[in-house]
Copies of this chain bind each other. A is one copy, B any other.
Amino acid sequence: MKFDDKVPIYYQIKNYLYHQIITGELQPGEKLPSVRQLAIDVTANVNTVQRALSEMITEEVIVPQRGKGNFVTTDVKEIEQLKSKLVNEQISLAYQQLHALDLSDDEILTEFKQFMEDGDVQNERTIEDR
């Protein structure tokens, strides 16, 4: 996994897991890979992964079961809220950033449409492009 070294890695790992859960790659109630396996998957240190999980546990997005591992919450509502929250954050953030770059609402939409048409996914540095 490529990391953007401008943001803490544990933070990017959290995002990665959020995405897995929201897109259903990790189903509600499903067991997460072991911390060590996750560490290998994302090529990060065990401690770093652990930190990401700890925060998600306090957020109750994942729930630990002693001796069994960590599980995605079964509370579907929780997950929906999570998605909605993340989407809103992204939209809001992007809007503000682009607005601050002097783009009007229309220009923002236009840029997006164009970007989508280009199908140009010159993505680097994101959590998804593994």
Residues of A within 8 A of B (CB): 3, 5-9, 11, 19, 22-24, 45, 58, 66-67, 83, 86-88, 90-103, 105, 108-109, 111-113, 115-116, 121-123, 125-129
Q: Decide yes or no: A83 and B101 within 8 Å by CB, A6-B7, A11-B6, A96-B127 being known contacts.
A: yes
Copies in the complex: 4
Assuming the A-B contacts A7-B7, A66-B5, A109-B112, are A91 and B102 also in contact, with contact meaning beta carbons closer than 8 angstroms in the complex? no
Return chain B residues, CB-CB under 8 Å to A113: 109
Question: Which residues of chain B are near A126, meaning CB under 8 Å?
Answer: 93, 96-97, 100
Q: Knowing A58-B58, A109-B112 touch, does A90 contact B86 (C-beta < 8 A)?
A: no
